[in-house]
Amino acid sequence: MRCRALRAVALSAIVICFILFTGVPAYAGAVLFHGKTVDIDLSDLEFYDGRPDETAVRSICAEIIRRYHDRGYTAFCIKRAVLGDDGILEIYFNESVVRRIKVQGADNSENRIAAEIYTAGRVFNEFILEDNIEILKAKYMLARLRVDVARDNDGSVILDLYPVRASATLDFYIAGDPLRGLVSVFTAGYAGESLDSEITLRSSLPGQTDVAFSSGQLRLRQGNAVSGFVTGAGALYSEDSLDSEGLMIYSAVNAFADCGWFFSRGAGRLELLLSGSFYSLEDYPRGERAMLFPLSLRALYDDRRTALDRNDYVLAEFTCSAGWNSMEHSAFVSYIFYSKLSVPLFRRLYGFVTAESFFTTLAERLFGRYVFTGLLACRRDDYTAKSAVHSAGSGFTLELIKDHIYLSPGVYGGMYGGSTDVYRSAWCAGADILWDAGLVAVDFRIVREISGPGGMIFTLSAGGRF
């Protein structure tokens, strides 16, 4: 930064012009400050005793500059000082407002960093600037944020920003599921200046259970913006069960694409998407093809991205779709909801409440959801699928080792059914043990069904960000 150079310029830029009339008797004089907007106490300098000579005027000016610079206004300088024959000393300030902020290599009007680093039109303050640099580096994961401070011809300040973003992320984890076995998930993200992209690959490891799936998806989103376009496309190959025992298996290839608009603010995010989804089926009784054309609204609130305490958060995701289904020749409506809320109760003890809900007016099993997965993951090899599955749970999280090991016992209950079925319920209880080692986290889960035939289910998940 050129702040030190600016300070030297400011000090050297003091121009003192004063007119002294000789023969005027000694008197108590007043000092008038012109151009003072900053709240710095100069009240003790507003009057002086006796007749000031050049040295005294210089010392008053030096004291004013010192006070400004000590408070971080390092671009402050005095344009001139005039001592009138009436004994009034008039001092003209240049407090140096920030006139222009320019981010190098980006469109200034759309760049949020420029808007947040400093408010244009305000008096330049080095301390505030330094604080904001640190804040923005942490917030936008910038490897560096260099700021050049320069003075314009009219005495105002220009800030030139040179941000260097940490642009790539890589996430990998393996999730345990009692129906599909171990499922690996790989996500690679790249955040550019104007475009964010993300590739996600998911696959159940082969040869574990009767059902399996593999999928790949690419999503693109306008970067560095609170609203903009979002689009995505992907494909899914799955082998699913037509019955609850897994005796009849069908396979499906699903290709999908969507595009729309997003709006985000703080922890909230809203997406409106127009989608198309094509299914090619094998061994499926109703036919070989299906197409869905839904308009979807996705609302997400996730304050884990904004909150500092990892155990004090609210996560809620709701996706509602409505459109046309070619297989059943009818319009449909469906939604998926998931939420989890965690609150600190006492030192190292947190409470959580979680819920998930799925509903569709589509009757075909292809569009239903397995019941004993998610919060009700308490039965192995039970492939019951329904068009309405609702479950909720609650429990405690105990922090066994600070920031590292967490134990979360909980109770979960749910209801499932369909348009023609009687609703059934299921209850289970279990516990998670999470070991968080910073880059890598491992989660071990034990669940036992209370209400039905389910046995003890163990699942292991592990993953990290690299």
Partner 1 sequence: MIPGGNGLKQRGQADKMRKYIQCIIAIALCATPAGAEVPSFDRIIRDYNSIRTISASVKQQVYMPGGEARYFSGDYYADSSGNLRIDYSYPEQETVINNSTGFYWYIPARRTVYVQKGRDSGRSMLNPLPGRIIEGDSSKLKLKYEGIRFYSFFKRAAVWSITSEGSPLIIRVWTDPDGLYVIRKYVLDANGIELVRENYSGHVTVGGVYLPSRVEVLARTPAGVVHSHTEYSGIAVNLTLQRGLFVFKKSRDTAERPLDEM
Number of chain residues interacting with partner 1 (CB under 8 A)? 35
Closer residue to partner 1 (CB): 63 or 70: 70
| 309 touching partner 1, by CB under 8 A | yes
Residues 351-370 that bind partner 1 (CB under 8 A): none
Measured from the CB atom, the residue of 35 and 455 that comes closer to partner 1 is 35
Amino acid found at 404: H
- Residue 57 CB partners (closer than 8 Å, separation 6+): 16, 18, 81, 83, 89
Of the candidates 345, 366, 369, 365, which has an alpha carbon nearest to the alpha carbon of residue 356? 369
The 8-class DSSP code of residue 170 comes to: E
Residue selected from 25, 39, 206, 453 as contacting partner 1 according to rule CB under 8 A: 39
Question: What's the CA angle centered on 277, arms 273 and 282, to 5 degrees?
Answer: 160
Tell me the closest approach of the beta carbon of residue 427 to partner 1, in angstroms. Answer: 25
C-alpha closest to that of 116 among 101, 104, 127, 126: 101
**CA–CA gap between residue 283 and residue 386 (Å, rounded):** 20
Query: Minimal distance in Å, beta carbon 273 to partner 1?
Result: 23
Q: Is 289 in the site for partner 1 (CB under 8 A)?
A: no
Q: Rounded CA gap, 62 and 89, in Å? A: 15
Q: Give Cα separations from 177 to 87, 182, 408 (angstroms).
A: 87, 6, 18
Rank residues 141 and 456 by Cβ distance to partner 1 and give the closer one. Answer: 141
Q: Tell me the closest approach of the beta carbon of residue 122 to partner 1, in angstroms.
A: 5
In eight-state DSSP terms, residue 431 is E
Give the nearest distance from C-beta 138 to partner 1 in angstroms.
5
The single residue among 5, 9, 88, 135 that binds partner 1, judged by CB under 8 A, is: 135
The answer to whether 429 contacts partner 1 (rule: CB under 8 A) is no
Q: Using the rule CB under 8 A, is 402 a contact of partner 1?
A: yes
Smallest distance, partner 1 to C-beta of residue 437, A: 7
Name residues whose C-beta falls within 8 Å of residue 79's C-beta, 6 or more positions apart in sequence. 15, 35, 92, 93, 94, 155
The single residue among 1, 128, 199, 441 that binds partner 1, judged by CB under 8 A, is 128
**Rule CB under 8 A: is residue 138 a binding residue for partner 1?**
yes
Give residues in contact with partner 1 (CB under 8 A): 39, 70-71, 116, 119, 122-123, 125, 127-128, 131-132, 134-135, 137-139, 265-267, 305-309, 343-347, 402-404, 437-438
